[in-house]
Amino acid sequence: MATPTLPTPADPASTLSALSTPDTTRIPPPARGVARPAAPGRLGLRLLAAIDLVLPDLSEPGVTGELAAGLAWAAAAGETCRITRPVDGVRSAVAAIRAGELGAARGLLEHAAAELRDAPALPVPRPATGVQRRSI
């Protein structure tokens, strides 16, 4: 009984070169530059943007939705505990808009916007040092 044999190519080097493709595209290495320090962030930036968007006309439909979205952004960023007075002012303004008291709502929103413009900037995190310090 004869054992079956697999056909072998005449020149194994030619088969290998046919299977491999030349590397014509090279990805450049990442540029190593000096890292710029991060810019300090502002507290309630999106809430202030929502207030500025709705202040020109409080009678438009969707005003309370825009303010609720600004409050949601502040809550998602964890800022509501740092800017409690403007957040409470916006919540009161939403209630006043729903009650039809647009004059009171305008005053509350203007006051909240002024407080947000005066809010301090967030501190910039320091870069990590090469050596991690641990407390014992």
What pLDDT sits at residue 83? 94
Walk along the chain (136 residues) in steps of 10 and give the mean pLDDT of each run. Answer: 58 54 62 61 92 95 96 93 95 97 97 93 66 56
Return the H-helix or E-strand segment holding 71: helix 63-76
What pLDDT sits at residue 71? 97
Residue 131, in any domain of the structure: no
Residue 49, in any domain of the structure: yes
Residue 78, in any domain of the structure: yes
Domain residue limits at 113: 45-117
Residue 77, in any domain of the structure: yes
Residue 113, in any domain of the structure: yes
What pLDDT sits at residue 18? 52
How many separate domains does the chain show? 1
What pLDDT sits at residue 41? 78
Residue 16, in any domain of the structure: no
Residue 136, in any domain of the structure: no
Residue 134 phi, psi dihedral angles, 5° rounding: -120, 145
Q: Is the pTM higher than 0.95?
A: no
pLDDT digits (tens, 9 = 90+) for 89-118: 999 999 999 999 999 999 999 999 999 999
Residue 68, in any domain of the structure: yes
Considering only CA atoms, give the Rg of the chain.
31
What pLDDT sits at residue 123? 72
Nearest partner of 97 among 63, 51, 46, 123, judged by Cα: 63
